[in-house]
Chains A and B, each alone.
Chain A
C-alpha cells in the first residue's frame, strides 16, 4: 500500500476484506479473535460479534488447542510464516458442503497460511490466518494420487 490510508480507502479495503474468497482470521497475542471476515462467517455460520475475543477452540471444539498454539509460536517468536496443508490435515475449520449435485467432497479441504502482523515497533502484535479453499485441488490429487502444485 503506497499512500497512507484515507477514510475512503478504508471503506474499500473493508469491502475487499468482506468479499474476498479466502478466510481471514486475525488473532491477538492471547490467540483471541480480533477479525473474522465474511468468508469465515458465511461458511461457519458464526458471526463476527460471536467470534470476537473468543479462542479458536471455543468456536471449533474439535480443534486441539495445544497443537494449534504450537503452530502459532514460531510466527510470534521468529516472525516466520507457518502452514497447515490439506495433504497432512484435510481442514482446520470443518465447513460442511451442502451442495446436492455439484459437491466435490463432504467438507471443504483447506490450506492455511499463518502470517505475523507487525506493530509500529516491528514487533508481532497479531497473527493472521489465511484460509484457502483447496477442495478442487485435493480432489484432483486424489484422482491422480500425486500432489499437484497450487
Chain B
C-alpha cells in the first residue's frame, strides 16, 4: 500500500511549496485540501495517513482539525506547518496530538530528516560516486550556468514582463537510477507534466527536462500572452512553448561561452512510462537543476539539464582548455 499523504493549507502557493519540499524519491499518493473541513473529510477517507497541516485556515483551523482527529480517533500522523510558531502554540498542538512541526519557509533537508526520524521515509542507497568532476571544474560549471542564466535574465524579463525570479542553478553529479526514479515518480502524478528536449552541438549532446504543474495552464497563458483555448492540446502547447524558451536560453547561454552552437531537437511530452525509453548504460550524469518561480503569477517549474558521462568527458576537456 502506498502511503497516503495530505497537504492541508488554504494558500495554493504554500501547498505547492510543501509538495516541493517532500523528498522526490518518496513513493506516496499525494492529496491536497484547501481548508480544515475538506482536510478532515480527506482524512476520514483514508487520504491522510500523514498530514501536513497549516494552523490558520478558514472554516476549520488546524487546532480544530487536530481536535476532531483525536475525538474520532482517526489514523493520522500530523505534522503542523506554520509560519511563526510560538512556544505556547507549539505546546498546544503537541498536546492535541501533533507529531511535530515544520516552520515556513520550509527547509528541504529538515523535512527529510524529520520524515526519517519518524520512520516515514528511507533514503535509497546511492552508489558510491567516483569523482567525475574536480572541485575546480565544478566551480567552473557553476559560474558557466550563473552567467548563462544572468545573460538570459533581462531578455527573459522583457519577454515575460519581469515575472521570472533569477534562479540559482544547482550543479551536481547524480546517479542515473535516482534521476530516473524521480522523473518516473513525478510523471506518474496527474498534477505534473514533463517536457523533454535534446540538444547537440560540436558532438556534445545533452537532454533537458522541464517539469510543470498542470494546474498552471491558465497562468501560463497569461505569461505567454496567448489564449488558452478549450482544445485538449492547448495547455501542452503552452508548456512546450515555455520549455523551448527556458531550455533555449540556458543551453544557448552556456554554448556561447564555450564556443559551441547547440541545436535543439523537437521537444516532446515525456512518455507515460519511462520503460518506453531505452535504458542508458551510463551510471552517473552531470545534472544542472534550476527552479523557476514566478510568484506574481503563482507559477513554479523546474528545469533539469543532463549530460551523460561521455558528454561530460568532452565538456571537461573543453573547460580544462579554458581553465589553463
Contacts and interface: CB of A to CB of B under 8 A. Distances in A.
B191 to A, nearest CB: 20
Contact of B271 (A74, A78, A80, A147): A147
A78 B249 contact: yes
Contacts of B222: none
A65 B98 CA distance: 57
B268 A74 contact: no
Nearest to A134: B266
A83 B266 contact: yes
Interface residues of B, number: 30
B248 A80 contact: yes
Interface stretch (B5-13, B204-212, B234-242, B293-301): B234-242
Contacts of B268: 85, 87, 147, 149
A78 B237 contact: no
Of listed A71, A73, A74, residue having the most chain B CB within 10 A = A74
Interface residues of A, number: 22
B215 interface: no
A149 B277 CA distance: 10
A85 B244 contact: no
A150 B266 CA distance: 8
Nearest to A90: B233
Contact of B265 (A74, A78, A87, A150): A150
A81 interface: yes
A10 interface: no
A85 B226 contact: no
Interface in A71-89: 71, 73-74, 77-83, 85, 87-89
A113 interface: yes
Nearest to B245: A74
B171 interface: no
A111 interface: yes
Nearest to B239: A88
Contacts of B152: 78
Given A70-B225, A88-B233, A81 B240 contact: no
B159 A73 contact: yes
B269 A147 contact: yes
A132 B239 CA distance: 21
B271 A79 contact: no
A77 B159 contact: yes
Interface in A104-132: 111, 113
A129 to B, nearest CB: 14
A70 B224 contact: yes
B274 to A, nearest CB: 13
Contact of A87 (B227, B236, B241, B271): B236
A115 B229 CA distance: 26
Given A82-B244, A87-B233, A113 B266 contact: yes
B186 to A, nearest CB: 18
A111 B236 CA distance: 15
A8 B236 CA distance: 46
A12 interface: no
B93 to A, nearest CB: 48
Given A70-B226, A77-B158, A80-B249, A146 B271 contact: yes
A113 B264 CA distance: 9
Contacts of A77: 155, 158-159
A11 B234 CA distance: 43
B252 interface: yes
A112 to B, nearest CB: 9
Interface string B73-96: 000000000000000000000000
Given A67-B226, A146-B276, A147-B268, A81 B248 contact: yes
A62 to B, nearest CB: 15
B266 A82 contact: no
A144 to B, nearest CB: 11
Given A111-B266, A113-B266, A150-B265, A81 B233 contact: no
11 contacts: A70-B225, A70-B226, A77-B159, A80-B264, A81-B248, A82-B245, A85-B240, A88-B234, A88-B240, A147-B269, A149-B268
Interface of B: 152, 155-156, 158-159, 224-227, 233-234, 236-237, 240-241, 244-245, 247-249, 252, 264-269, 271-272, 276
Interface of A: 67, 70-71, 73-74, 77-83, 85, 87-89, 111, 113, 146-147, 149-150
